[in-house]
Chain A
């Protein structure tokens, strides 16, 4: 932590000594010494460049990152395109014309169904992964639209919880005293709070109004879950950031800043917060995965996303009804959930190592 960009002990000039930087050349007398030794001149690497170089070496983390980018693209642009191409929406039932098979079971993968048109004719359309249930809706489209919901909840809740956690953690760690005591007790209170009970209470009281808040682009129920996860999930990041800040505020560069008359706000903004970026990104990637799983759990319990909006959780919730006849209905959302959380976790691990190469895997 001491070797970050704006620390006074970063040395002089433009060369930053960063964790993991090869300093051999410098020990022999800097650039001149390098030339004397016949070595090519060493270009100083910025902090972020070093992080990126280290991250790039971690193939699993890169794969995770690529998967996440693809997932965002598929969910937010691929889903509407697929819906347009297939000719139907994710909530449209196909009950009388192929959405169910002869045994009244959900149609299997790659089934052609007929859409009942106003004139009574049937328009043939494709169900790539078959039907989601005995309602005869397109499993493939629901999976894609479910990804939107999962990502919205995961990212939204992460932003809120990390923002609250970083803010409160930094205040508690920097100012200590009564603000630390107050915030620490709040953390303990939040940790002890029965969050499932809170979700049920919120659902029964404000739920119906909150669920309607979509800002024109979010799924129904997303805002409720983001608020619940954010308001009850900030404690972990607050604890992390408090610990880091407590350590940072004792560092020489902070003392130096204070000595030259920097205000508390300037010290927090310019000297403390930049050091929190690394752990913040790592924590965020891991939180996204955790919140996606939490959304799936709540939807599985019927407390999450509002019907008929699709989410991976509610796809999983209905699938066991057909587990002997249509086991793939459990597999599709299961795999999606598994790969997404794995990707976020791999990226998180990779980022942790990239930001702090001294930590061992």
Chain B
């Protein structure tokens, strides 16, 4: 997940789908597991097939330096801390994981396949124990071998309370992880290395565990990094993917060099990937046009998308303008822990009727995304169009909003947080205007994006009534949206993602139950939850499912965009003409 600082409203980015957790892999035997896994892969493929662009494998030219621009710096480059789309783009080139997304487009790239793991894990009959066999040959950029212990170290470092990682909620199912997170143990009892075997014990059968292993948090780390426990993060370290972080000057630049000892099967075309930080999108746009920058990762000015599409065409093979749908949602979270929205579903519904989703989307420019009134994005297991709220403002919708708000305004004062970058301030003003129409006087507070979501996820600093947010899938499963974003059991944690502070016992129970289901039942359960929550007691006003828009220089010779990883061309695959 990540924030895209360059995008109009920087938000959480996506890392995509995978082993579809909706399909059971806990079974009675290996054959059955393989068969089920096949189903998982097939469903994943079908879901993303529609969204994929048909581009053939590039004819790669090796060497040279690819220049990338970020408008703002990343949060960290440390693998156990970074939780930002831009960093995950870089870590897509530096990390090696148990399972990973192939460097392919379309359906072929949408299936998580074993990378450092020699094959799919052996799963116990009760579905709680996963045994991975580590493939020999992978080496870190300091020539040390990747072993099962490299992953044990990653799990332990991730859970270490001194690291204060915001992603630790993904370890909730790992046996013994909570004890480490709470400072009661130094190592996770449920993660062990036995020779070349990595054994992970879970507290409950979790259909999405394999999907979670594709997140950069759980990449292999070398022993030196394992000993470096620092909440500020480590800037450069040896890694076992095709590239490694060779230099970082915060707020200025990041340099990725080719890992000289990499023996895996992934592509590494350029010798160096140079990331320059700090230019405005307008400057980045000019630099890409001139060819001094190859990829403006933060995007270009919203009004330029239409021009570049008409000038260079859309989604041509290795073309300069590429647009793909993302598994994400941009939304306005309504803080249910504060008086305005606490036990006030009438007002929350009124907001959903009042917000102008069409105008919100228009702020982002051409091909920004698709309007929505639901939690789950199209393409996600469990997504079912519900048509609960209007996607276009009309006099009737405003009248309905006013009627619903009547008597529920509770003073009608609200504090609304938004990012201070890109078009976010414009979108915030639009929502402010919409709210005024139903009697809510909203005060906008603009914050740097990282500060916005960090403070929003901390109960002690979340003094807002509404916050304009974005969430991109960490992996393609409804658990990553419904449970991660709305499970009330996490709202007391010092860092969480339930920015609506939505905590309704009935729904908490239903979410927990849905997370254990597999197959079509899982999809049905999450679809029902999506509809019920939005219809009865909306925690958010969902606005738009956005697209991933990419603009490249004329120096670029080949690209691969894997929709599963969700954000732009794969940096390790980009090659120069």
**Contact of B425 with A324 in the complex, beta carbons under 8 Å:** no
Q: A104-B365, A208-B443, A308-B433 are in contact. Are A95 and B301 (CB under 8 A)?
A: no
**Contact of B415 with A208 in the complex, beta carbons under 8 Å:** yes
Interface size of B by CB at 8 A reads 32
Q: Closest residue of chain A to B280, judged by CB?
A: A320
- Counting CB contacts under 8 A, is A22 at the interface? no
> Which residues, 292 to 326 on A, are CB-close (under 8 Å) to B?
302, 306-308, 318, 320-326
Most chain B CB within 10 A, of A103, A118, A135, A302, is at A135
Q: Closest residue of chain A to B446, judged by CB?
A: A302
Give Cα distance in the complex from A55 to B415, angstroms: 50
Most chain A CB within 10 A, of B303, B365, B430, B433, is at B303
**Contact of A93 with B433 in the complex, beta carbons under 8 Å:** yes
Cβ 8 A contact of A93, one of B280, B301, B430:
B430
Across-interface contacts of A302 in B (CB, < 8 A):
420, 425, 446
**Contact of B429 with A324 in the complex, beta carbons under 8 Å:** no
Q: A134-B426, A318-B426, A321-B302 are in contact. Are A93 and B443 (CB under 8 A)?
A: no
**Contact of B366 with A104 in the complex, beta carbons under 8 Å:** yes
Cβ 8 A contact of B359, one of A93, A103, A320, A322:
A93
Cβ 8 A contact of A208, one of B280, B420, B445:
B445
> Which residues, 104 to 154 on A, are CB-close (under 8 Å) to B?
104-105, 116-120, 133-135
Give Cα distance in the complex from A331 to B499, angstroms: 40
**Contact of B426 with A135 in the complex, beta carbons under 8 Å:** yes
- Counting CB contacts under 8 A, is A69 at the interface? no
Across-interface contacts of A39 in B (CB, < 8 A):
none
Q: A307-B428, A308-B429, A321-B301 are in contact. Are A135 and B445 (CB under 8 A)?
A: no
Cβ 8 A contact of A321, one of B303, B393, B446:
B303
Across-interface contacts of A118 in B (CB, < 8 A):
395
**Contact of A307 with B433 in the complex, beta carbons under 8 Å:** no
Most chain B CB within 10 A, of A91, A116, A308, is at A308
Q: Closest residue of chain B to A93, judged by CB?
A: B433
Q: Closest residue of chain B to A317, judged by CB?
A: B425
Task: Map CB proximity to B onto A79-97 as digits: 1 under 8 Å, 0 otherwise.
Answer: 0000000000001110110
Task: Map CB proximity to A onto B418-441 as digits: 1 under 8 Å, 0 otherwise.
Answer: 001001011011101100000000
- Counting CB contacts under 8 A, is A100 at the interface? yes
Per DSSP, chain A at the interface is: loop
**Contact of B432 with A307 in the complex, beta carbons under 8 Å:** yes
Q: A104-B366, A306-B443, A307-B432 are in contact. Are A134 and B302 (CB under 8 A)?
A: yes
Q: How many whole Å from A147's CB to the nearest CB in chain B?
A: 20
Q: A93-B433, A120-B394, A135-B430 are in contact. Are A321 and B423 (CB under 8 A)?
A: yes
> Which residues, 192 to 221 on A, are CB-close (under 8 Å) to B?
208, 211-212
- Counting CB contacts under 8 A, is B189 at the interface? no
Q: A302-B420, A307-B432, A320-B280 are in contact. Are A95 and B362 (CB under 8 A)?
A: yes
- Counting CB contacts under 8 A, is B509 at the interface? no
**Contact of B395 with A307 in the complex, beta carbons under 8 Å:** no
Q: How many whole Å from B10's CB to the nearest CB in chain A?
A: 14
**Contact of A104 with B282 in the complex, beta carbons under 8 Å:** no
Q: How many whole Å from A332's CB to the nearest CB in chain B?
A: 18
**Contact of A324 with B303 in the complex, beta carbons under 8 Å:** yes
Q: A104-B365, A118-B395 are in contact. Are A134 and B445 (CB under 8 A)?
A: no
Q: How many whole Å from A14's CB to the nearest CB in chain B?
A: 61
**Contact of B304 with A324 in the complex, beta carbons under 8 Å:** yes
Give Cα distance in the complex from A317 to B363, angstroms: 15
**Contact of A116 with B425 in the complex, beta carbons under 8 Å:** no
Task: Map CB proximity to A onto B302-313 as digits: 1 under 8 Å, 0 otherwise.
Answer: 111011000000
Question: Which A residues lie at the B interface, using CB under 8 A?
Answer: 91-93, 95-96, 100, 103-105, 116-120, 133-135, 208, 211-212, 302, 306-308, 318, 320-326
CB-based closest 5 A-B pairs: A95-B359, A120-B395, A302-B420, A308-B429, A307-B444
Question: Which B residues lie at the A interface, using CB under 8 A?
Answer: 280, 282, 301-304, 306-307, 356, 358-359, 362-363, 365-366, 393-395, 415, 420, 423, 425-426, 428-430, 432-433, 443-446
Task: Given contacts A120-B394, A307-B425, A326-B303, list 5 more A-B pairs with CB under 8 A.
Answer: A95-B362, A95-B430, A104-B365, A135-B430, A308-B444
